[in-house]
Chain A
Amino acid sequence: MAATSRDIDKLISREYRHGFFTDIEADSVPPGLNEDIIRLISAKKNEPEFMLNWRLKAYRHWLTMREPKWANTYYPSIDYQAIVYYSAPKKDKNRPKSLDEVDPKLRETYDKLGIPLEEQELLAGVAVDAVFDSVSVATTFRKKLAERGVIFCSFSEAVQNHPQLVQKYLGSVVPHTDNFYAALNSAVFTDGSFVYVPKGVRCPMELSTYFRINAQNTGQFERTLIIADEGAYVSYLEGCTAPQRDENQLHAAVVELVALDDAQIKYSTVQNWYPGDEQGRGGIYNFVTKRGECRGRNAKISWTQVETGSAITMKYPSVVLTGANSVGEFYSVALTNNYQQADTGTKMIHIGKNTKSTIISKGLSAGHGQNSYRGLVRIAKGAERARNYTQCDSMLIGDKCGAHTFPYVEVKNPTATVEHEASTSKIGEDQIFYLNQRGISTEDAVSMIVSGFCKEVFQELPMEFAVEAQKLLGVSLEGSVG
């Protein structure tokens, strides 16, 4: 027997399932970054002047900034001049009008990932805005959404068709000066998703985007902007996988959410980018800025994330609680295996009165994985009776991994209530043996114990996403338990 720690290792060390390339001609600009490249990107995308000016402003500010080094992560410096900042599938001009017109190879890729678009349409009732490399290729259900006045399109299309909305909200939550990667994104982003839900409208379906990084050495700089007008509701799902490759890839997306009076935004992510191989070679650098603002009274923003991929993750989906009585939530499962490093958490910035936030973070470390929770709860002077509840739980699988917690709390109003709970546990041989003795294999036992540990987060996910997430955790931990 003596299965346990060896079996855990075996379970964890499974090779990445989504490792493959799609051979599609890409329309790329040469590597490197300067103002000419930014002008070229903007021109290729046929952008109005305000966009170009905003990009240039961001670029000039970025030049004055330094790469942040405060995270609990270790990796070689990134050569920003070696990155290709624009890559679009060739037939950009003749975009497909329906799924039938989508490049068969692309369809094949989605099939391999288990995301057949038509089935998604029929079965899940999910509108998919698929980002392949940097340009949206297929958008479905747009008509149905348009009937309710919901705008769901690629960011480029929004710039062309709804420039006033873009101009009004772009950078209003994450300014171009916010941080090193957000500034870089603002300068060079090529596409992303745009959602606007008008006053009083409940978006009739879950909106979903599958991201996929594909062309060689292309940094992905997505930009997502979601606006829920007064009394509106929208649930947005983001899920992604990437093909196997050797070189590290930078992914520096920005997601901005704006919720006005009585509006609600639910943003769910399942992130499964290439984490690097068992020795820690390759893998995606996932340096993403995600922030929402409850700009109106009684607004609510919830982030739910299941992070299993990427070699290095630095990501802090945050909520700025400006409106009185507004609510921010963060539910997170972060798993690190092999040599993955994750420094992730959230910021809850309480500005308005009676604002409330909840943070539930579940960190899972296996192999040599290092998992850090970093969270900030700030109660501003005027945030009367603000409340926060934070719960951080870590689970260790095997004895070579690490879990770390860095909670920051700043309270400037004496009427506030802030609670923090934390726990660290080890997946127990006793638990595994108990389940074995009930006829359950070690692999299923680990998956069961881990799912139980993450339950509070999974139950926040939309149903079909929850199932996917649970499977993903199982796959990511295969080979890790003995």
Chain B
Amino acid sequence: MLSIRNLHVSVEDKAILKGIDLDVNAGEVHAIMGPNGSGKSTLAQVLAGRENYTVTAGHVTFEGQDLLELSPEERAQQGLFLAFQYPVEIPGVSNIYLLKSALNAIRKAQGDDELDAMDLLNTVKEKMKLSKMDQALLYRSVNEGFSGGEKKRNEILQMAVLEPKLAILDETDSGLDIDALKIVADGVNSLRTPERAFILVTHYQRLLNYIEPDYVHVLAGGRIAKSGDKTLAQELERSGYGWLSARTAAAGG
């Protein structure tokens, strides 16, 4: 589904990613972990098409297409979803209106008919059970005045409604209490299908107690320093990231 080869990315001439290789197949859940500043979020942003990130080398294919050639909205329309670390507030635009516009933009791009308001509402209400959100939030402005937990659950709701092929969750667990974390994890787990893949970007192993990954990758110094199965996350939990950086440095030296 997703294939990243030798990806180098800079921000304002500072190299952040220095050669990432990663393959994600349908049905897989990949966790990307790493210390602060290792480039985890950069990877998520670049895949989603954020500007200000310059790809200096390498390429990325998504469902056989050159992902880097596509605009952010085209990527979304092709089925790539990013759950934001800091979901943005949009005053005066209701949540339901955003969901309708987004879903219909994607459906239109895929050649499907647009959903009318009633069908949409039924779909959304069904999906809201996953994220255990109060229906009143549908009619509030997007993320405005939402608590941290509500914002993250709102991201999960959007993901559930938009049904992406590949969902990237950028530190969705940060700032969540244990109950909210469970709700988010339950939402993700219920969306796991053989056709859908996930990339979980996270600093802590905690999230992975609730969402069991197929693969864990540790990012350090702009490279994937180590890959393994879920036991790697547990190892990190015990010993932290220090040994990894030392190893990378040693390997580099």
Does A pair with B? Answer: yes
Binding site for B on A (CB under 8 A): 1-4, 428-431, 433-442, 444, 448-449, 451-456
Q: Which residue of B lies closest to A445 (CB)?
A: B73
Consensus secondary structure, chain A interface: helix
**A-B CB proximity, top 3 nearest:** A452-B92, A1-B51, A452-B93
Q: How many B residues, CB 8 Å from partner? A: 31
**With A and B bound together, what is the CA distance between A341 and B253 in angstroms?**
62
What are the residues of chain B within 8 A of A428 when measuring CB–CB? 88
- CB atoms of A439 and B106 under 8 A apart: yes
Given contacts A1-B49, A452-B141, contact A439 B88 (CB under 8 A): no
A2 → B minimal CB distance (Å):
5
Q: A437-B75, A444-B105 are in contact. List 7 more A-B contacts (CB 8 A).
A: A3-B51, A436-B49, A439-B76, A448-B93, A451-B92, A451-B93, A455-B92
Given contacts A1-B50, A454-B92, contact A440 B141 (CB under 8 A): no
What are the residues of chain A within 8 A of B84 when measuring CB–CB? 434, 437
B132 → A minimal CB distance (Å):
21
What are the residues of chain B within 8 A of A429 when measuring CB–CB? 51
Q: Which of A2, A435, A444 neighbours the largest number of chain B CB atoms within 10 Å of its CB?
A: A435
Which of B72, B91, B141 contacts A437 (CB under 8 A)? B72
- CB atoms of B90 and A436 under 8 A apart: no
Interface presence of B98 (CB below 8 A):
yes
Given contacts A4-B51, A431-B88, A452-B93, contact A440 B71 (CB under 8 A): no
- CB atoms of A433 and B91 under 8 A apart: no
**With A and B bound together, what is the CA distance between A430 and B82 in angstroms?**
13
Interface presence of B48 (CB below 8 A):
yes
**With A and B bound together, what is the CA distance between A456 and B72 in angstroms?**
30
- CB atoms of B158 and A438 under 8 A apart: yes
Given contacts A452-B141, A454-B92, contact A440 B51 (CB under 8 A): no
- CB atoms of B101 and A436 under 8 A apart: no
Q: Which of A428, A452, A455 neighbours the largest number of chain B CB atoms within 10 Å of its CB?
A: A452
Given contacts A2-B52, A3-B51, A433-B50, contact A439 B102 (CB under 8 A): yes
What are the residues of chain A within 8 A of B50 when measuring CB–CB? 1, 433
Interface presence of B172 (CB below 8 A):
no
Which of chain B's residues 26-48 have a Cβ closer than 8 Å to chain A?
Answer: 48
- CB atoms of B93 and A436 under 8 A apart: no
B167 → A minimal CB distance (Å):
12
Which of B49, B73, B82 contacts A440 (CB under 8 A)? B73
Q: Which residue of A lies closest to B49 (CB)?
A: A1
- CB atoms of A444 and B71 under 8 A apart: no
**With A and B bound together, what is the CA distance between A455 and B92 in angstroms?**
6
Given contacts A437-B82, A438-B102, A441-B105, contact A452 B91 (CB under 8 A): yes
What are the residues of chain B within 8 A of A452 when measuring CB–CB? 90-93, 141
What are the residues of chain B within 8 A of A437 when measuring CB–CB? 48-49, 72-73, 75-76, 81-82, 84
B164 → A minimal CB distance (Å):
10
**With A and B bound together, what is the CA distance between A65 and B196 in angstroms?**
74
